[in-house]
Amino acid sequence: MAPIAPKRFPDRDEIATVRRECEPLENGAQADTTRRLAGRVMARRDMGKLVFLDLVDRSGRIQLLCPLERTGEIDVHLGDVVGVSGAPAKSRRGEPSLMVDSLELLSRIRTPLPDTFHGLTDVELRYRKRYLDLLMNEEARHDALVRSRTVASIRRTLDEWGFVEVETPVLQPRYGGAFAEPFVTHWNSLDEDRYLRIATELYLKRLIVGGLEKVYEIGKDFRNEGVSFKHHPEFTMLEWYEAYADYRDTMDRIEQLVARAAQEVLGTTTCTFRGHEIDFAPPWRRMKFVDALEEHGLWTRDADELRRRLQERDVDVSKDPTWSKLIDHAHSHFVEPALVQPTILYDYPVELSPFARATDDDPSIVERFEYFAGGMELGNAFTEINDAEEQASRFTSQEAERAAGDVEAEGGDPDYVEALSYGMPPTGGIGLGIDRLAMVFTGRESIRDAILFPALRATG
RNA sequence: GGGCCGGUAGCUCAGCUGGUAGAGCAGGGGACUUUUAAUCCCAAGGUCGCAGGUUCGAACCCUGCCCGGCCCA
């Protein structure tokens, strides 16, 4: 009968820790302590009575020296999960190692690993079998940890600032809070359709009405659209809302939040993305939306004129039925890609911003900003409309956009308007695309490298 | 949706002008007490993405489809 594989391996140390213990040793020497390590065997070099293994855990890699006279036969294949105990040592050539006394097989590999030298490079396989990518490519492990630590840092900062983390519905009877088409599903027992949320915005602001004052949520949003290097149909978004604050307060906070995350995760406020060194240290460049378009000669309130100017520049405007879509196209085509260093664009046309309050001196311009890095929008923020009647009239304006052919225009939400009618404090709110931030922090140029299991077509 | 590129052993790849499929690593067997892409010997490993077509003969040429990448929309 085959021996039963151990169900646990307690009291293990991290490989990185043991490596550090090996550093001061002379070549060929070993410490008189005993350490226990567990992990995946990623290389094997047999030298007759002495077997060398490379053991990998989350923290790093170390060489195992296995003298057969002590350990017995080493019945270990590449990819097996083993636990060992032994003494920190250095090989004669100076390689940090563990001189193994005993080795136990914890899990036997059944399907051979990919080529341990070339790793797994096939892009499709890396996405479909991310576990192999993580196993074979140290870079993939590193990126996953950077993302995780970034989210942890953001939570720490918001918690420290007194924000409350909440969870709001993913399945919503109405969708809103962004311009996008939703996924639809069906609730059988109620025989009602539900939309997967495209944003958390309208529920979070209901909580501001309810007096929670400072709330945030980190979660998945879903938008029924194609995939690109910066778009993914399910993506992770942070949104926060802060009572008694406006968009200027929010600008200061987002600079602090991102710079601090970079500092904590990367050890510096800078990172390299698409060959550019990007520095998140505040203050970020700030520029009016209108001025940014003006720089490209693309600011006009006249839809026909704007259409003409875009066509002159060989832009296909056939799918832009409204001025809003045209100006958005102009912005995303000419302005956004040039915003490499962290930049805040502020004061947007009211047509693009159904939830933002007007500026004091111009009712056609609202207190909204978007912020960019690496040529990508990272997020969007407003001084929130907190008056029910004003919100209702913005929804009405959006219906006109929809009637003019913009399928992504806001659909309106009477229940949300009712919530506002009970009074909402003046409020600043913001969204942050976590996947895109992770792209910039890791230097990965595809959002699919920032997402552990990106969406792919189903196979066979 | 359109254009370009790709899919050959578990992985990384080669395969010329159409002539019966190759290597390295991994996996199996063996040798070796300081190797680290260890080395050496032996044996094994294939629906060439799928389906048609052309041809005496197709991984290779043609058509359609599937999956992926990049760019455009």
In a domain, A68, yes or no: yes
Beta strand spans in A363-436 (E): 365-373, 376-383, 427-433
A63: which nucleotide lies closest, measuring CA to C1'?
B36
- Name A residues 74-113 whose Cβ lies under 7 Å from strand B: 77-78, 91-95, 97, 111-113
- Name A residues 372-431 whose Cβ lies under 7 Å from strand B: none
| Count of domains for chain A | 2
A54: which nucleotide lies closest, measuring CA to C1'?
B36
What pLDDT score does A409 carry?
A: 87
Span A104-117, average pLDDT: 90
In a domain, A456, yes or no: no
Is residue A68 located within the same domain as residue A199? no
Is residue A207 located within the same domain as residue A87? no
A43: which nucleotide lies closest, measuring CA to C1'?
B36
The CATH number of residue A200's host domain is 3.30.930.10
Distance of A175 CA from B72 C1′ (whole Å):
30
In a domain, A408, yes or no: yes
Distance of A124 CA from B68 C1′ (whole Å):
6
pLDDT in tens, A291-316: 999 999 999 999 999 999 999 898 88
Confidence of residue A405 (pLDDT cuts 50, 70, 90): confident
Q: Which residue is nearest to nucleotide B68 (CA to C1')?
A: A124
Is residue A31 located within the same domain as residue A77? yes
Structural domain that includes position A92: 15-107
What pLDDT score does A1 carry?
A: 46
What pLDDT score does A119 carry?
A: 87
Is residue A164 located within the same domain as residue A259? yes
Is residue A175 located within the same domain as residue A243? yes
- Of A229, A232, A309, A242, nearest to A273 (Cα)? A229
Confidence of residue A460 (pLDDT cuts 50, 70, 90): low
Q: CA-CA distances (angstroms) from residue A211 to A23, A55, A418, A424?
A: 56, 53, 16, 8
In a domain, A67, yes or no: yes
Q: Which residue is nearest to nucleotide B34 (CA to C1')?
A: A92
- Of A323, A335, A157, A348, nearest to A247 (Cα)? A348
pLDDT at residue A124 tops 80:
yes
Apex A79 CA angle, A73 and A84, nearest 5: 50
pLDDT in tens, A130-171: 999 999 999 999 999 999 999 999 999 999 999 999 999 999
Reading the block at residue A347, the tokens are: 């004061």
Is residue A64 located within the same domain as residue A205? no
On whether the CB atoms of residues A85 and A35 are closer than 8 A, the answer is: yes
- Of A211, A225, A140, nearest to A180 (Cα)? A225
Which of the nucleotides in strand B have any atom less than 7 Å away from a protein CB atom?
1, 6, 10-13, 24-28, 31-39, 66-73
pLDDT at residue A285 tops 50:
yes
pLDDT at residue A116 tops 90:
no
Residue with tokens 């695309």: A433
Is residue A380 located within the same domain as residue A247? yes
- Of A20, A62, A21, A65, nearest to A38 (Cα)? A62
Question: A152 in helix, strand or coil?
Answer: helix
On whether the CB atoms of residues A282 and A255 are closer than 8 A, the answer is: yes
A26 touches strand B (CB under 7 A): no
**Omega before A283 cis (within 30°)?**
yes
In a domain, A308, yes or no: no
What pLDDT score does A167 carry?
A: 98
Distance of A376 CA from B73 C1′ (whole Å):
19
Measured CA to CA, the distance from residue A321 to residue A329 in angstroms comes to 11
- Of A295, A450, A229, A276, nearest to A373 (Cα)? A276
A114 touches strand B (CB under 7 A): yes
pLDDT at residue A459 tops 90:
no
What pLDDT score does A2 carry?
A: 57
A92: which nucleotide lies closest, measuring CA to C1'?
B34
Reading the block at residue A191, the tokens are: 């025989």
Given 3-state DSSP classes, what are the helix, strand and coil percentages for chain A, each rounded to the nearest 5?
30, 30, 40
Is residue A103 located within the same domain as residue A144? no
Span A327-342, average pLDDT: 95
- Of A233, A210, A236, A209, nearest to A222 (Cα)? A233
- Name A residues 220-249 whose Cβ lies under 7 Å from strand B: 226-229
- Name A residues 30-69 whose Cβ lies under 7 Å from strand B: 43-50, 52, 54, 63, 65, 67-69
Apex A350 CA angle, A397 and A290, nearest 5: 150
pLDDT in tens, A183-225: 999 999 999 999 999 999 999 999 999 999 999 999 999 999 9
In a domain, A303, yes or no: no
Distance of A76 CA from B10 C1′ (whole Å):
18
Span A85-113, average pLDDT: 94
Rounded mean pLDDT of chain A?
A: 94
Is residue A102 located within the same domain as residue A186? no
Question: Residue A441 phi/psi, 5° resolution?
Answer: -65, -35
The CATH number of residue A84's host domain is 2.40.50.140
Is residue A149 located within the same domain as residue A248? yes
In a domain, A299, yes or no: no
pLDDT at residue A360 tops 90:
yes
In a domain, A309, yes or no: no
A361 touches strand B (CB under 7 A): no
Measured CA to CA, the distance from residue A422 to residue A58 in angstroms comes to 51
Is residue A44 located within the same domain as residue A172? no
pLDDT in tens, A408-453: 888 889 999 999 999 999 999 999 999 999 999 999 999 999 999 9
CB burial of residue A106 (10 Å; 0-12, 13-18, 19+): middle
Measured CA to CA, the distance from residue A76 to residue A284 in angstroms comes to 54
Is residue A151 located within the same domain as residue A277? yes
Q: Which residues pair with A336 in a beta bridge?
A: none
Q: CA-CA distances (angstroms) from residue A232 to A13, A199, A229?
A: 38, 14, 8
Whole-number CA gyration radius for chain A: 28
Q: Packing angle between helix A388-403 and helix A414-421, nearest 10 degrees?
A: 160
